[in-house]
Amino acid sequence: MTLEEQEEFKQKIAETILPIAVNMTEEQIRTVILNVLKDNEEMNPAFGDMLFEQIMIHKYNLNNKNTNN
């Protein structure tokens, strides 16, 4: 992925997934990702790991921002 693609990916996560994931536990998020990977065998499992990591980073940053305000 190019840097531009990475930034676009992160932005899409923040816009589409984070509003839902913010109210979910880590386990719930992981379960959803694993189920999607199971139903889509053509997807690389490493993508699921990267997606989980990015969701947790965004969620952590959002929680820190709200705590500091």
% of the chain surpassing 70 pLDDT: 99
**How confident is the model at residue 69, as a pLDDT?**
65
Yes or no: say if 51 and 13 are a contact pair by the CB < 8 Å rule: yes
pLDDT (tens digit per residue) in 22-37: 999 999 999 999 999 9
For the question of whether the overall pTM of this predicted structure is more than 0.95, the answer is: no
17 has a pLDDT exceeding 70 = yes
Cβ-proximal residues to 58 (8 Å cutoff; 6+ apart), any chain: 10, 13, 14, 18, 21
